[in-house]
Structure 1
C-alpha cells in the first residue's frame, strides 16, 4: 500500500530558497538564504545553536552566513549543481517540520524551462533538475528529508495567479508579469485569468546580483569583506544606519558605499524597464514579483505611467511564487495564509 507524502512548494532561487506548505489549514512560508562554503564548521559554542555540515559525494560543505568564502550561486549552472541540492535540503530543515519523505515542486527560470526558439518545454533541463535534487546528500550528526518525487514548474508566471483571478480580467486582458530575481529576469504575458500565456522572455544576465556584486566590492574597499548574504542584507537594509554601521569597518566609506548601491539599483531598474518595454509595450496590467521587485518598482511605474495603480507590487513579492504554487496544488482551497518567516542573518 502506497503512503502519500507531504508536498512542499519550493522556489529555489539563487539568493534565497522560498518554501511553502500547508499545515493544519494554514499556508506557511519560510525564506532561507543561501550562503555555503566548502569544508565544515566546528561545533557551535552556544548551546542551542545549530551547525549544518553537509557532505555530497566526497565534498564537505557548511552553511556559513557571514563568510567571505561563501560560494557564488548567482549563475545559471546553480540550478543543477551541489549548491542547489544544498540550498533545498537546508531550506527544508528550516521549516521546523520533522525530517520525512516529501514530494516537492521546484522551479526553473523561464529560459531554462522552455526552448527559446519554439517555447516548448526543455525536457532535458527539466530532467536534469529532477535528477540533481534526488542525489545523495548527508548531514553530519543530523537527519535530512528524503525527496521521493520532484515536479518542476516555470518561474514567475504562477506568482500572479491569485491576483489575476480577483482582478476582474476579461478574455482580452493582457497582464505582464515581471520577476526580478537574484540571477535572472523572467517575464511573461498572460491573457485573461490565465487563459493563455502568449509570450515569454528571460535574461540570465540581469538580476539583483548586479547590485550584490557592487555592494561586495564596496564593502571590501572599506575593509569589510562579506558574504553574498550579508551584501544582500545591506541592500535590503541600506536605510537602517545602525545596521550599516554594524557591518562596515571603515565608516568613512559609508556614504560612498550607499551611493554606489543606489546608483546600481537605478541602473538595474532602468535595464529592467528597457527590456520590459521592448518585450511588452502596452500591457493592460503589470505585476512585479521576485526578490528584486521593490528595487525596480519606481522604474517600472515610470515606464508604464499611464497604467497607474494597475502596476502592482505583489505582497511579499520574494515568496509569492512558492505560495501560489502551493495553493495551486492544494486539495483544500479554504486555507489561511500566514506571513512568510524571513530567516535573517544570524538566525541559523
Structure 2
C-alpha cells in the first residue's frame, strides 16, 4: 500500500500518542508512549532492538522508556514544542508502514482549540500547531515520514461519534462527554446524534498527570526513581503485585507507594466529578473517554447515581478519539470498523 494514500488520525496526547489509519477497510491502531530525553543512546546490544535517536535543529533527543531524565510532556506547551514533534514522528514509525509523504489529522485540547471568550476557533493556536508539525526532524540511521499536510481538530467530542449513532438517542437527548487525558480535562454536551453541541468546557489543570507526578514522587522516596512512562505503567498495573515489586526497590514502602497512588486517583476522580457537576448538572447520558477514563469511572457513577447504565465507559477509551476521527475522515470505506492493534516496532515499547 502506498504511503502517499495514507491519512493518519492522531490523538497526540501528552502521555501517549494514539494513531489510527485505514488499511483495506480495516482500522489499524497503535498507542505510542511519550518518553524522550536529550542526547543520544548507544547502539542496542540485541540485534532485534532498534534505537531511536532524533535531531531537531541542533538538539539531539532519544526515545528512552525507563530513564528518570525523561523530559516532562505534561503541560499545555507540549502541543507546540519539540517533544510534540518527536512524539508524532515516533508514533508514525511504530505503524510498520514505510516512511514517505503523509497527511495527518491531529488534535488540540478544547481550551487551546477554542477562544475562552467567544467559543470560536483559536486560529493562532491552530496555526502554531500546524507550523510545529511541519518542522524538519531527522532520525539517525533511519528515515522519518514527510508530513505534507496537517489538519487540526478539537479533542474529546468526536470520540463518541459511532457510539452515539448506535445508541438510539432522540433529538432531545443531552449527552455529556468527559475526556480525562494526561494533562487536560475536556468536556462537551452533545444534543441528539450530534445535531448540536450545546456547550464545551476545558480545564488545563486537571489530568492523569496529577497521579503520575504523585507516583514518581512516591517512587523516588522508595529509592525507585522512574520515568513518566514507568510511573504510568505502575498506575495501570498497580494491582499486579509481582510487577509492583519489580518497580519498587524499597519493598518496605510498597504499600505506602500504592496508598499514595490510590489517594491521588480518588482526588482526581473527585476533581473531575466536581467540574462535571458544575458544567452539566443533569445530563441524560455520560460517555467517558481518554486515558484516565477508567480511573474516574467510579467517581462519576457516584456523582450521577440515577443514570446507572447510561454512564458508558467507551470501548478502548484511550484510542477512541483517533479511531473515530479516522472513521469520520476516511478516504476509503470502512468495511470492518473493529480496531486491530498493529504490531509496534520491537524496540518502541518496553515496561
Q: Is 1:141 the equivalent of 2:141?
A: yes
Q: Is 1:94 the equivalent of 2:67?
A: no
Q: Is the 8 A contact 1:105 1:150 kept in 2?
A: yes
Deviations 1:108-130 (A, max 9, x none): 00000000111100000001000
Please give the alpha-carbon distance, in whole angstroms, between the structure 2 residues aligned to 1:174 and 1:342. 38
Number of the residue aligned with 1:338: 339
Please give the alpha-carbon distance, in whole angstroms, between the structure 2 residues aligned to 1:341 and 1:111. 31
Please give the alpha-carbon distance, in whole angstroms, between the structure 2 residues aligned to 1:172 and 1:145. 44
CA RMSD of aligned residues (A): 1.5
Number of the residue aligned with 2:302: 302
Q: Is the 8 A contact 2:95 2:342 kept in 1?
A: no
Q: Is the 8 A contact 1:100 1:145 kept in 2?
A: yes
Mean CA deviation greater in 111-120 or 334-343: 334-343
Secondary structure of the residue aligned to 1:233 is helix
Number of the residue aligned with 1:233: 233
Alignment of 1:322-337 (within 5 A): 322-330=322-330, 331-337=332-338
Number of the residue aligned with 2:129: 129
Equivalent residue pairs, number: 346
Structure 1 runs (4+) deviating above 3 angstroms are 339-346
CA, structure 1 residues 345+211, in 2 after alignment: closer, same or farther (shift >3 Å)? Answer: farther
Please give the alpha-carbon distance, in whole angstroms, between the structure 2 residues aligned to 1:41 and 1:345. 13
Number of the residue aligned with 2:197: 197
Number of the residue aligned with 1:112: 112
CA, structure 1 residues 38+340, in 2 after alignment: closer, same or farther (shift >3 Å)? Answer: same
Q: Is 1:279 the equivalent of 2:279?
A: yes
Q: Is the 8 A contact 1:32 1:342 kept in 2?
A: no
Number of the residue aligned with 1:249: 249
Q: Is the 8 A contact 1:233 1:345 kept in 2?
A: no
Q: Is the 8 A contact 2:49 2:347 kept in 1?
A: no
TM-score by length of 2: 0.96
Once the two structures are TM-superposed, the CA of residue 340 in structure 1 deviates from its matched residue by 3.6
Please give the alpha-carbon distance, in whole angstroms, between the structure 1 residues aligned to 2:54 and 2:144. 10
CA, structure 1 residues 18+68, in 2 after alignment: closer, same or farther (shift >3 Å)? Answer: same
Number of the residue aligned with 2:161: 161
Q: Is 1:347 the equivalent of 2:349?
A: yes
Number of the residue aligned with 1:261: 261
Secondary structure of the residue aligned to 2:120 is coil
Q: Is the 8 A contact 2:174 2:283 kept in 1?
A: yes
Secondary structure of the residue aligned to 1:68 is coil
Secondary structure of the residue aligned to 2:319 is helix
Q: Is the 8 A contact 1:31 1:341 kept in 2?
A: no
Secondary structure of the residue aligned to 1:147 is strand
Number of the residue aligned with 1:59: 59
Q: Is the 8 A contact 1:230 1:345 kept in 2?
A: no
Deviations 1:286-325 (A, max 9, x none): 0000000000000001111101100000011000000000
Once the two structures are TM-superposed, the CA of residue 341 in structure 1 deviates from its matched residue by 5.4
Gaps of 5+ in 2: none
CA, structure 1 residues 82+145, in 2 after alignment: closer, same or farther (shift >3 Å)? Answer: same
Deviations 1:9-50 (A, max 9, x none): 000000000000011221011100000000000011111100
Once the two structures are TM-superposed, the CA of residue 347 in structure 1 deviates from its matched residue by 2.6
Please give the alpha-carbon distance, in whole angstroms, between the structure 2 residues aligned to 1:170 and 1:264. 38
Please give the alpha-carbon distance, in whole angstroms, between the structure 1 residues aligned to 2:49 and 2:241. 28
Secondary structure of the residue aligned to 1:305 is coil
Deviations 1:188-219 (A, max 9, x none): 00011001111000000000000000000000
Q: Is the 8 A contact 1:6 1:103 kept in 2?
A: yes
Please give the alpha-carbon distance, in whole angstroms, between the structure 1 residues aligned to 2:11 and 2:238. 25
Please give the alpha-carbon distance, in whole angstroms, between the structure 2 residues aligned to 1:255 and 1:120. 48
Number of the residue aligned with 1:103: 103
Number of the residue aligned with 1:206: 206
Q: Is the 8 A contact 2:26 2:340 kept in 1?
A: no
TM-score by length of 1: 0.97
Q: Is the 8 A contact 1:265 1:296 kept in 2?
A: yes
Secondary structure of the residue aligned to 1:32 is strand
